[in-house]
Structure 1
Amino acid sequence: MKAIQFTGYGEVSKKVKTSEIVKPTISKDEVLIETYAASVNPLDIKVVEGKLKSVSNFKLPTTLGYDVSGIIIEKGENVPNFNIGDEVFSKVNRQGTFTEFVAVNQKLVSLKPKNTTFEEAASLPLVGLTAIQALKRGKLKSGESILIPAGSGGVGSFAIQYAKSIGAYVYTTTSSENVSWVKKLGADEVIDYKTVDYTAIVQDADMVLDTLGNEYTEEAFSVIKNGGKVITLVGPVDKETANRMKLNKITKLFLAFKRRKITKQIKQKSAFYSLVFMRANAKQLNEISELVESGTVKTKIDKVFPLKDTLNALLYVKKGRTKGKVVIKIK
């Protein structure tokens, strides 16, 4: 069967290829999904470029992709809750969804929303789980305010809708051409970062969902109130997360050095800071499905590419100008 793999670390254009691999066999706790669609995430690009080598060790060549939607065609003997023919979606723990068939543990799978296409369903798992877990980590409550930068991206567009479903007041940033669309997602204040300094508008926010990293992680502390929260997806590893990862002493010292500016700002603002590593979670996938079926959260597909053009899809996402999700149509 065909699969899109990366053969080594480096430039996406040079390290991604189409391969022929063996169709997977399932264990007694797995289902075999015939892949109808998968979606591209910035995470796929970071993996190829070697930016996650310190936390993930891949046996190369490795099939790319984390999101999948499709139909169950086989199930293991210990799988009671799914049937052959079920339409499902999932976020897998390891890569391997840019291919024709995917074996997935039943604990990571959910029935796809009934009111979505396979392409729409494939756009949901990673970004939806990331947004939900980040906002739950920050314990966002009704009546609180949150800044969600990059509101037109996959995580940002889902997080805006999820935060509004909680009852939060949402600030977001986007480029001029996307302001109107992002407003339709429900954000209370949409800031055109090309013409306006968002730090002059957002003040005393209860939380920032940092999706950008680098200087934006540091700027997040300037817009939260004393005692506010910065939940990051891309910033330096916090002490608690480093301990939870059971890293060695030398690595912890290195990470402490890298976050020294953040540590200073945490103390100045008496802030809570945490890096979220998203985990696959079928229960939360069920929550996503309910949100979509009720109309609380709407999907947005930017572009759909066939499997043979996956490299172009990756390069398109790498530009950082997507409006919603980019999806690979496999069947």
Structure 2
Amino acid sequence: MKAVQHIAYKEISESIKFSDIEKPSINKNEVLIEAYAASVNPLDIKVLTGKLKMRKNYTLPAKMGYDVSGKIIEKGENVTNFNIGDEVYAYVDKQGAFAEYVSVKQNIVSLKPKNTTFEEAASLPLVSLTATQALRRGKLKAGDKILIHAGSGGVGSVAIQMAKTTGAYVYTTTSTDNVQWVKALGADRVIDYKTEDYKTIVKDADMVLDTLGNKYTEDAFKVIKKGGKVITLVGPVDKETANRMKLNFFARTYLAWKRRKVTKRISEKAAYYSLVLLRPNSRQLNEITKQVESEKIKTNIEKEYPLKDAINAVLHVANGRTKGKVVIKIK
């Protein structure tokens, strides 16, 4: 089958290869999906640039891609939730979505929303699950004020819609070119970071969803109220998460040193701080399907590329400033 592989840690254009590889087999708890579409995420760029190279069992060459949509063409003997021919989508935690066929555990697959194309469905799993898990970690509720950074990005654009459905007041940051588009998503106050300083506008927020990291993680504590929450996707690993990861003493000590500035900010604001590490969750994806079908969440695809041109799709995302999602059309 045709697939995109990660072959080296070099410049991105030299790290990816369009290959013919063996079609995956399935075990008794998996389904085989004939892929119709996949989408590119910043996480794919992190993989290519070596930021996740220490992950267990990750060796090159490796298949790429986390988001897939398509039709089930085979199922294992223990699969009872799906039938051959079902149209599905999934966040593929073991990667492999940039290919003609993808094997996936049945417990992380969901039926795709009936009112979406395969391309639209493929744009959803990673970003919508990330937004869901982040907002739930922060226990966002009606009446809360939340700042969501990078409102035109994949996670940000979905998180805005979810937060508004919850009944929260939403601040978000974006560039001048995207202000009107982000307003249309429902954000209450769109901050043009090229002309405005969000730190002078956002005051006493209940929660910040930090999608940018670095100085933005530390500065998040300047805009939350006493006892507020900072939920990060890219900031330092918090103590609770480090313990859940079952790291050894030396690793936990190093991470404690890395987050020392954040630890000081937590203490000053009596704040709650947490790093969200995305986990596949078909129950949550089923809920997202309902939200999409009821039009509480709408997708936005900036550009589509054919599978043979997947390298340019990845480079598009690597260049940053993507408005919504970039999708690879496979079939």
**Structure 1 and Structure 2 fold alike (TM over 0.5):** yes
User: What is the TM-score when the length of structure 1 is the normalising length?
Assistant: 0.99
Match of 1:67 in 2: 67
- Return the alpha-carbon distance in structure 2 between the equivalents of residues 317 and 57 of structure 1: 26
- Return the alpha-carbon distance in structure 2 between the equivalents of residues 9 and 230 of structure 1: 33
After TM superposition, the structure 1 = structure 2 runs for residues 216-235 of structure 1, keeping only pairs within 5 Å, are: 216-235=216-235
Cα offsets for 1:174-230 (capped at 9, x unmatched): 000100000000000000000000100001000000000011101100000010000
Match of 2:307 in 1: 307
- Note if contact 1:10-1:50 (Cα within 8 Å) is conserved in structure 2: no
Contiguous gaps of at least 5 residues in structure 2: none
AA of the residue aligned to 1:51: K
- Note if contact 1:160-1:170 (Cα within 8 Å) is conserved in structure 2: yes
Match of 1:147 in 2: 147
Matched, 1:319 2:315: no
For the residue of structure 1 that corresponds to 2:326, the secondary structure is strand
Match of 2:206 in 1: 206
Match of 1:26 in 2: 26
Contiguous gaps of at least 5 residues in structure 1: none
- Return the alpha-carbon distance in structure 1 between the equivalents of residues 102 and 241 of structure 2: 30
1:13, distance to aligned residue in structure 2 (A): 1.4
1:12, distance to aligned residue in structure 2 (A): 1.1
Match of 1:4 in 2: 4
Match of 1:100 in 2: 100
User: What is the TM-score when the length of structure 2 is the normalising length?
Assistant: 0.99
After TM superposition, the structure 1 = structure 2 runs for residues 72-221 of structure 1, keeping only pairs within 5 Å, are: 72-221=72-221
1:53, distance to aligned residue in structure 2 (A): 2.4
Cα offsets for 1:61-107 (capped at 9, x unmatched): 00110000000001111111111110000001111100000010100
RMSD of equivalent CA atoms: 0.8
Match of 2:38 in 1: 38
- Return the alpha-carbon distance in structure 1 between the equivalents of residues 57 and 137 of structure 2: 26
- Return the alpha-carbon distance in structure 1 between the equivalents of residues 231 and 186 of structure 2: 21
56-65 or 157-166, larger mean C-alpha shift = 56-65
Identity of aligned residues (%): 70
- Return the alpha-carbon distance in structure 2 between the equivalents of residues 212 and 83 of structure 1: 40
1:57, distance to aligned residue in structure 2 (A): 4.2
Cα offsets for 1:120-155 (capped at 9, x unmatched): 000000000000000000100110010001000000
For the residue of structure 1 that corresponds to 2:202, the secondary structure is coil
Matched, 1:248 2:253: no
Cα offsets for 1:34-70 (capped at 9, x unmatched): 0000000000010010012244541210011000000
- Return the alpha-carbon distance in structure 2 between the equivalents of residues 52 and 26 of structure 1: 26
For the residue of structure 2 that corresponds to 1:206, the secondary structure is strand
AA of the residue aligned to 1:197: D
AA of the residue aligned to 1:50: G
- Return the alpha-carbon distance in structure 2 between the equivalents of residues 129 and 108 of structure 1: 11
- Return the alpha-carbon distance in structure 2 between the equivalents of residues 216 and 139 of structure 1: 21
Match of 2:264 in 1: 264
